[in-house]
Structure 1
């Protein structure tokens, strides 16, 4: 069985200063908003819907970043091939509000602070996603 999810690295500029959005998931890890594709949706629509649902923000897709692929064992479905598509997304509206049923929190960070937090307490496979976003935004990081 194959399962497709999508999400994004959301950013904004406030008075010329770039900020990156990170969420804290239900396990307390730093992460990125994402979720499963619903029937009739495109992958891009899934990414924007999930960002809206989890963070309260409307976004505009700027460009694809990358995909993460892995397998996991589901109780009823057996082995599932998971594919997660990530996009660079500019925040264009809404108000920041965590979807408490899904995540613990959501906030904005300076790019280097976001990178540091991702390295310290994020999922390893999200490192290259955030790195790809920072590269597209011309941010120098280690």
Structure 2
């Protein structure tokens, strides 16, 4: 079992809310996340991975959801993975993509983040992003495309 953690990162500025989305090395829209290291809590893993992948320092607001899925590891074959997602408020840092891991990162208006997730994201992140937006007071529907 591989355990990872990550988050839906948001910032509020002049009354507007922005959601951070990344484009992974496969060109898919997703959320920053990564593998837990020995001795770390899930929260510590999420904040470290967000910082490493996007340059943004965050603070945990609350847990959102834990998702589980299987993937094919190049060396170990079929593996189970569990990812703990948190709602994370951006508190500092400068946005920049860790090009070894991801292709890009940007701040999007919440409905645009949702549109990109639905169109270009991984299905198992739909509920994570929907719940995060809901906790920020933004309701979206599954078929909303703009």
User: TM bucket by the smaller chain?
Assistant: over 0.9
Distance in 2 between residues matched to 1:42 and 1:29, nearest whole Å: 27
Q: Distance in 2 between matches of 1:91 and 1:118?
A: 20
Query: How far 1:71 sits from its partner (Å)?
Result: 2.0
The normalised TM-score by structure 2 is 0.93
Which consecutive aligned stretches of 4+ in structure 1 deviate over 6 angstroms post-superposition?
A: none
- Looking at structure 2, the residues matched to 74 and 61 of structure 1 have their Cα atoms a distance apart, in angstroms, of 29
1:18 alignment partner in structure 2: 17
Note the C-alpha offset of 1:76. 3.6
Question: What's 1:7 paired with?
Answer: 6
Q: Distance in 1 between matches of 2:25 and 2:116?
A: 16
Corresponding residue number in structure 2 for 1:117? 116
Residues 19-34 of structure 1 aligned to structure 2 (within 5 Å)? 19-34=18-33
Paired residues of 2:25 and 2:101 also in contact (CA < 8 A): yes
Q: CA deviation at 1:81?
A: 1.8
Unmatched segments (≥5 aa) in structure 1: none
* Residue of structure 2 in register with 1:44 after alignment: 43
Deviations 1:90-109 (A, max 9, x none): 00000000000000000001
1:106 aligns with: 105
CA distance in 2, matches of 1:79, 1:123: 18
- Give the count of matched residue pairs: 141
Q: Distance in 2 between the 1:60 and 1:139 partners?
A: 20
User: Which whole-Å deviations, capped at 9, do the CAs of 1:55-92 have from their partners, x for residues lacking one?
Assistant: 00000000000011012343443442210000000000
Q: Distance in 2 between matches of 1:133 and 1:52?
A: 19
Matched, 1:82 2:89: no
- Give the superposed CA RMSD: 1.0
Residue 63 of structure 1: aligned partner = 62
TM-aligned CA deviation for residue 48 of structure 1: 0.2
Structure 1 74/13 Cα, relative in aligned 2: closer, same or farther at 3 Å?
same
1:140 lines up with 2:117 in the alignment = no
Structure 1 residue 96 corresponds to structure 2 residue 101: no
